[in-house]
Structure 1
Amino acid sequence: MNFGEKVRYVRKKFSLTTEQLARLLNVTQSYISHVENNRRKFGRDKIALLANKLYIPVEFFLRE
């Protein structure tokens, strides 16, 4: 599972829309879409924020 797929998986697991996830991370919905489609990646700060807000280990997003 690549990074974008992990973000999408977590978003759907928590029943969040792309807009809700964007608000949670203080980014645009378009940015979330780009991440989920592997056109962009989150920086370390956004990965840490996402993991913290959803109580997921940071390692989930970082390991291959």
Structure 2
Amino acid sequence: MNIGDRIKELRKELKINQKELGNLLNVTQQVISHYECSGSIDASKLSTISKRYNIDIRYFYEERPLSDFKTAVLRPNSTQGPDIPAGWHELLDDVSSLEQDKIRFIETVVRALLKEFSS
């Protein structure tokens, strides 16, 4: 599988279309199509994708399943693993199965609530 195949696989896993990915990278849908067909893409673009979707950049270069490269948010100065409250795994699974625009909306609402409760 080449880099273009990996981009397409990731996009399908995230349930986003070429236009949405193009918006992230500030390129057209046609350019995303070119990346997927040719595998020719700047490393900086791959970095942008990996940071936005919390995927280790090695995903694009190594022949292992996507699940091996999904990164978890860790507590600062922690070596104990993800800081996910008990019972939230199912909620996170449900959210991750939504379309990307709905996930962004939920993220916006959660950030607003966090800001409100932190004050």
Report the TM-score, using the length of structure 2 for normalisation.
Answer: 0.50
The runs of 5 or more residues in structure 1 that have no matched partner are none
List per-residue Cα deviations over 1:29-59 (Å, max 9, x = no partner). 1110011111x52111101001101110011
- What percent identity do the matched residue pairs reach? 32
Count of aligned positions? 63
Quick check: which has more Rg, 1 or 2?
Answer: 2
Structure 2 Cα separation of the partners of residues 6 and 44 of structure 1:
14
Which letter does structure 2 place at the counterpart of 1:4?
G
CA RMSD in angstroms comes to 1.2
Structure 1 runs of 4+ aligned residues shifted over 4 Å read none
Report the TM-score, using the length of structure 1 for normalisation.
Answer: 0.89
Counterpart of 2:7 in structure 1 is: 7
The 5-angstrom pairing of residues 1-64 of structure 1 reads 1-38=1-38, 41-63=40-62
